[in-house]
Amino acid sequence: MCLLDLLRQPAWAILSLLLAMVVRLQRRPRWDPQACRVKLNGKTAIVTGANSGIGMYIAMDFARRGARVILACRNESLGMAALKEITKTTGNTDIHLRLVDLSCMDSVSNFATRILEEEKALHILVNNAGVSGLPRQITKDGFEVSFATNHLGPFLLTNLLLDLMKRSAPARIVTLSSVNHKKGQVDFSHFRGENLVYGMDKVYNHTKLHNIICTNELARRLQGTGVTANSVHPGIVKTGVLRHYPFWIRYCFNLLAFFFFKTAEEGACSTIYCAVAEELEGVTGKYFDSDCSLVLPAPLARDAALAVKDFEICERLTSKL
């Protein structure tokens, strides 16, 4: 009996489906943070949104490697809880909480000012914080709130910390985008909340496209400085990222997540890879998939002329404040 005949038997079909699920569950990235012996003693790292989900595991990994880690969070009690957990798990006591609300440009610039006053060096910046599914709202700076949180806030933060990172070179910037950027569109009026259609993750998808576009242009501008900038897709990860979605969507997500999605710890892998792996020394302006492989982002994210324009517009929007 040939294989196809076998598969026609319902029992075998079910068995192979189960097998496929197991194989899917077992699929491991091509790089293992646990097996990577890189140490970060004497290095300083900032992780935004480090109190939950993927961000906490990224910060945990840096702490385990001996780094001085700054948790950039907006909520003091959630941030302190993460700090305690990271210190308890890793034994690293050089972990610090600094408050920042990335949706508010004043808060971002106050945060950066304090970092510049207190830190002698900055070797790793991870732009992890992000939101999805927020209803329409315009911030006091005049920005649409998802764009402010996911793109303009991190954009300003990165720019304010650049000189410190250049002085600390070699240094690495890693920005968490998403495979969802492929469905995103570029329309510069979106930043102010114009011409936006809300529905599921539509706005989120646009913001994640801008993440890659501006990271690529930043990488181009940083050529020769020893500071690299890359974007990653963390995978489809079971976190609180859908907290603003209706119950039934979260229910389906969690059901699927149980079988197929990554844990937050697994979701941290591609970011840790970009931040510490020796083989990525000097690699910049690239986009990495959740299994740590180098892949091409969507065509819009590779348009160099568009990137120059996007970066300039974001600079203008954030510097006037």
Q: Which residues bind ligand NAG (CB under 6 A)?
A: 75, 77-78, 179-180, 182-183, 199-202, 205
| Residue 204 appears among annotated catalytic residues | yes
Contact flag: residue 55 with ligand NAP (CB under 6 A) = yes
The CA–CA distances, whole Å, from 144 to 74, 104, 108, 134, 147 equal 18, 11, 16, 10, 5
Q: Which is nearer to ligand NAP, 216 or 239 (CB)?
A: 239
CB atoms under 10 Å from CB of 284, counted, come to 20
- Phi/psi of residue 99, nearest 5 degrees: -85, 140
Candidate list 204, 245, 251, 273, residue with the active-site label? 204
Q: How far is the CB of 48 from ligand NAP (least distance, A)?
A: 6
Name the β-bridge partners of 83: none
For residues 146 and 150, what is the distance between their CA atoms, to the nearest angstrom? 6
Which pair of tokens denotes residue 50? Answer: 């480090």
Query: What string of H, E and C letters represents the secondary structure of 186-232?
Result: CCHHHHHCCCCCCCCCHHHHHHHHHHHHHHHHHHHHCCCCCEEEEEE
Q: Which is nearer to ligand NAP, 146 or 228 (CB)?
A: 146
51 interface partner picked from ligand NAP, ligand NAG, none, CB below 5 to 8 A per type: ligand NAP
**Residues 204-243 close enough to bind ligand NAP by CB under 6 A:** 233-234, 236-237, 239-241
Which listed residue (33, 53, 193, 285) binds ligand NAP by CB under 6 A? Answer: 53
SS3 18: helix
Which listed residue (70, 86, 122, 131) binds ligand NAP by CB under 6 A? Answer: 131
Active-site residue numbers?
204
Applying CB under 6 A, the residues found at the interface with ligand NAP are 48-49, 51-55, 74-75, 78, 100-103, 128-131, 149, 176, 178, 233-234, 236-237, 239-241
